[in-house]
Amino acid sequence: MEVLVVDLCGTLILENTTREFVRSLRLSLRATLLRAFALSRLAAILSNLAGRDLVRPLLIRCLRGHSKSGVESAARAYVHRALAEKPNHRVLLEIHEAKLEHRQVYLATASLAAIAIAVVQELQLDGYVASDLTYQADELCTGQLALDSTSNKWNLLLSRFPAFRDAHMTVVTDNPEDDDLMRHASVAYRIVGETILLEAKDV
């Protein structure tokens, strides 16, 4: 089995998709104020001081009370626009070539599953791993994650697609947190801007 695994933010789409997705939404006044703080310089400074990402949980909190269908519909609209306006054409070419060679193509992202699903549908990919939102019984978002795929993409891929264990896997990512994927890749490429650099592998 030969597969291509592609990261999303900064790799396939040249922006932080969770941030820009939430930025694109019409929100309540309270959520709009929370979003403004999350995107502020102060929030970035506090994240640096804390040594962890404080912005992402705040942005996800802005989704509290949104319906699952509403989140998914907004994600489809955002992804359609982002793939038109902010694509990495080199990575799109890699995906196209992989399909021509009958390799399966998977998206592995820490972004929201609604965004990942929209990308998979738009580009007709074979599957994904992503971060899942928590929804109540009435399918309203709680503003929290049920599953965070950050630094855990390899384990999630193995869990959902057991054939990955014996696959010849090519990884394309810009994300330093994807070391777990890079370690298990047969071939690994690091994205720098729109340039694709081959990573040295110990074989």
Domain edges within the chain? 2-25+63-198
Q: Which CATH superfamily is domain 2-25+63-198 in?
A: HAD superfamily/HAD-like (3.40.50.1000)
Q: Which of 168, 178, 200 is nearest to 107 (CA)?
A: 178
**Cβ-Cβ contacts under 8 Å for 141 (sequence gap 6 or more):** 63, 64, 65, 66, 67, 68, 71, 133, 134, 135
Residue 177 has what pLDDT? 86
Q: At what angle do helices 17-24 and 113-123 cross, to 10 degrees?
A: 100
Helix or strand run (H / E) with residue 99:
helix 89-100
CA distance 167 to 76: 30
| Residue keyed to tokens 């994600």 | 75
Residue 202 has what pLDDT? 44
Which residue ranges in the chain fall short of pLDDT 50? Answer: 202-203
- Is residue 172 a contact partner of residue 92, using CB atoms and an 8 Å limit? no
Q: What are phi and psi of 194, to 5 degrees?
A: -105, 15
Query: Which stretches does DSSP call E strand in the chain?
Result: 2-6, 104-112, 127-135, 141-147, 168-173, 187-192, 195-198
**Cβ-Cβ contacts under 8 Å for 79 (sequence gap 6 or more):** 13, 17, 115, 118, 119, 122
Helix or strand run (H / E) with residue 44:
helix 41-50
Residue 195 has what pLDDT? 67
Residue 104 has what pLDDT? 97
Q: Which of 32, 86, 94 is nearest to 58 (CA)?
A: 32
